[in-house]
Structure 1
Amino acid sequence: MILNKLTINSRILLITAVKHSTFIRSIDSDLGDQMKILNDNKQYTKTLELFDKHKENIEKYSNWIIIQALKACSQTKDIKRGSNIHNWFHRD
């Protein structure tokens, strides 16, 4: 009986973790895709505004999002900001 409860609880935990992971990847993909569209339309300031809006989840950002933010920085010639973003995500 205890073994059954442990098995059921561990399955529930695993399912919850997978759903959460998929949700975060979906947010990353959606955010990165939105930023790409803005960059493609030369709306670099809006790209960076969108990046800033989601900054609270900075640890969860994918490389796709960082690339889009750096592209916007390079197009707006905001070297300092681009350098800060690069250093933040490539720190040890």
Structure 2
Amino acid sequence: MLKKLVNNPRISLTVVAKRSANIQSIDSNLGDRMKMLNDNRQYLKTLELIDKHKNHIETCSNWVIIQALKACSELRDIQRGSSIHDLVSSRLKHDPYIFPALIHFYSKFISYYSEKGYDCSLVIFSPSLHFS
């Protein structure tokens, strides 16, 4: 889009601004829907929403990522939460808002699996293992 703007001066900046505002509003609505589902304890539906947008998760807002991690922690879905962590890990250095959600996500697993007598490092570093 920026290349088109530079090459074609007739494209107005308002068009670019409207498109970016539209994307932000879609992202905000997604985060708000996910928050509402989480508040109603419909965590699977929250994760279904994020699955529809998983190809664009790197560009999702912090609000969306935090809601997805909350649903993963409530469902004890370490595989999905770890994959979200991997997808947004490049943002963590410059974006401090996701980090507390990740701490909460992993701390939930540490306390849950410690009570069951599992080695927590196995659970966190090998999420493909299925513990019951």
Give the TM-score taking structure 2 as reference length: 0.59
Aligned position for 2:10: 9
Superposed CA RMSD in Å reads 2.0
Cα drift, residue 36 of structure 1? 0.3
Larger displacement relative to structure 2 (82-91 or 22-31): 82-91
Classify the secondary structure of the residue corresponding to 1:9.
Answer: coil
Cα drift, residue 34 of structure 1? 0.1
* Structure holding more helix per residue: 1
Classify the secondary structure of the residue corresponding to 2:71.
Answer: helix
Identity among equivalent positions (%) equals: 59
Aligned position for 1:72: 71
Higher relative contact order (CA closer than 8 Å, sequence separation 6+): 1
Letter of the 2:10 partner, please give it.
N
Cα drift, residue 58 of structure 1? 2.4
Classify the secondary structure of the residue corresponding to 1:90.
Answer: helix
Q: Mark the runs of 5 or more structure 1 residues left unpaired by the alignment.
A: 1-7
- Within a 5 Å distance, the mapping from 1:33-44 to structure 2 comes to 33-44=32-43
* Runs of 4+ that moved beyond 6 A: none
